[in-house]
Amino acid sequence: MLDPLLLRQDITAVASGLKRRGYVLDTENYQGLESQRKAIQIKVQELQQQRNSRSKLIGHAKAKGEDIQPLLDEVASLGSSLKGAEQQEQLVLEQQKAILTGLPNLADASVPDGKDENDNLELRRWGKPRQFEFEPLDHVDLGTKLGEMDAEAAAKLSGSRFTLLRGGVARLHRALAQFMLDTHTQEHGYTELYVPYMVNADAMFGTGQLPKFADDAFITTDEIPRYLIPTSEVPMTNLVAGEILKADELPMQLTALTPCFRREAGSYGRDTRGMIRQHQFEKVEMVQIVQPDDSDAALERMTKHAEAILQKLELAYRVMLLCTGDMGFAAEKTHDLEVWLPGQDSYREISSISRCGAFQARRMKARWRNPETGRPELVNTLNGSGVAVGRTLIAVLENYQQEDGRIKIPAVLQAYMGGLEYIA
RNA sequence: GGAGAGGUGGCAGAGCGGUUGAAUGCACUGGUCUUGAAAACCAGCAUAGGUUAAUAGCCUAUCGAGGGUUCGAAUCCCUCCCUCUCCGCCA
């Protein structure tokens, strides 16, 4: 959520900032609501003040044993006019909130303007795409040949956009996740969490999935519905919701391995082959809760942490700075890591690292006590994949394939595979 | 699933329907004392909104959430959520 104060003070600046992201804010409408709110609020408060002071007088009079009937007559009509004013106030506040909670974050000044992924800026590359002396297969053909990747079996059980893994490939998938977690906890200073995979609406609101993107999430049929997490960013970040943290608790660096569930509504026909886009996939996620002046540095740190995973796996990748049009709702600046996939002959997203400023913190009421001011102030939040396990599996299969169909196991994973060197 | 207890400020913990934004203790901040520190003593110490030049005043709201009763609700009533204890079931 954007700072309501900012909208009051300089709505033109906000509107032009949002326009960079392709969001058109109806400033006249908002300002109209704002002045209505102000007028009604003043009226409500005046009435409340009258009621309070009258009630106090009645209390005093009663204590002295005086006749309170004249006083009661005085306030007779107050109640109904107050109630009416309060209802009006609520109506305006709801309308305002509906607009406010639907506004995306403002992009950082360093973010390039653009419409979609074609306008993203490449920051750097690491590693060279492998040159094959034979025609490389994609992960679907590789997995199927091995008999260890089975989309049909998954379809029988669950429908499209699911995959079943067996044997060595299933183990490799697990090894990747363990390796990533170990790297972040042992080398990058993250605390590992095990978190709920279902969260309530408040949590989904806090990180910005609700109310706007309700259609993207799976929801339970409980009386109080719960949402299957689309990423563990949701439970991890919301851990600090409503809290006032001490300065020495920051930065907080959290990581977790969880499945992620996404309905992929609106992506029909895209990436239908293979494991690229699934309703369910594993992801190791990193979350940082930081002081605002550490936010910029934290984004760079997290990007390095995600890069370290790909470097250790010796997978070629490039780092992209997302343009305004390609960023997520809560982000003010995002780096994407794109790994080289020989099967697609292109770089594909495998990690997304975002700085959210106070956007999520404001929604969650997550604060820290700033020693300099002595007051609670909003924290800043960041999140990033470290990295997507399913897509990393694809990358390893495709990049480490041998001409005979075997998969070489990356050196750093062999210890996680009982010393195995190849999947065959 | 059954029975019971409870949710109050950073924490702990009081609170006959009326002057309670809320006792007290701890923590924290400033001061006195001291060579320094501790102890003791004194003072201060919630968040948000409105008004405002103001992080000064003044006003309003907030005691799990949402409704209700009342001139007036932290206190009474209803619904829901959560926590704890005991029993049952269970990976």
Strands A333-341 and A164-165: unpaired
Determine whether the distance from the CB of A145 to the nearest atom of strand B is below 7 Å.
no
The closest nt to A376, taking CA to C1', is B47
Digit-coded pLDDT (tens) for A260-315: 999 998 788 788 899 999 999 999 999 999 999 999 999 999 999 999 999 999 99
The closest of A111, A104, A107, A109 to A363, measured between CA atoms, is A104
More confident residue, A53 or A393: A393
Residue A387 confidence class, pLDDT cut points 50, 70, 90: very high
The closest nt to A53, taking CA to C1', is B72
Determine whether the distance from the CB of A52 to the nearest atom of strand B is below 7 Å.
yes
Determine whether the distance from the CB of A376 to the nearest atom of strand B is below 7 Å.
yes
Predicted ipTM?
0.84
Determine whether the distance from the CB of A5 to the nearest atom of strand B is below 7 Å.
yes
Domains and CATH numbers, chain A: 26-100 (1.10.287.40), 117-423 (3.30.930.10)
The gap between A166 CA and B91 C1' (Å) is 24
Q: What is the pLDDT of residue A392?
A: 98
Q: What is the pLDDT of residue A74?
A: 80
Fill in the DSSP letter of residue A328: -
Digit-coded pLDDT (tens) for A26-51: 999 999 999 899 999 999 999 999 99
Q: Whole-angstrom Cα distance, residue A176 to residue A388? A: 10
Mean pLDDT of the region A58-63 = 85
Q: What is the pLDDT of residue A256?
A: 96
Residue A211 confidence class, pLDDT cut points 50, 70, 90: confident
Are the C-beta atoms of A253 and A221 separated by less than 8 Å?
no
Tokens of A27: 């400033």
CA A320 to chain centre: 18
Q: What is the pLDDT of residue A173?
A: 97
State the DSSP H helix or E strand holding residue A224, giving kind and residue range, or none if neither: none
Strands (E), A70-228: 121-126, 149-150, 164-165, 191-192, 198-199, 227-228
Mean pLDDT of the region A212-238 = 90
The gap between A388 CA and B91 C1' (Å) is 29
The yes-or-no verdict on residue A223 having pLDDT over 80 is no
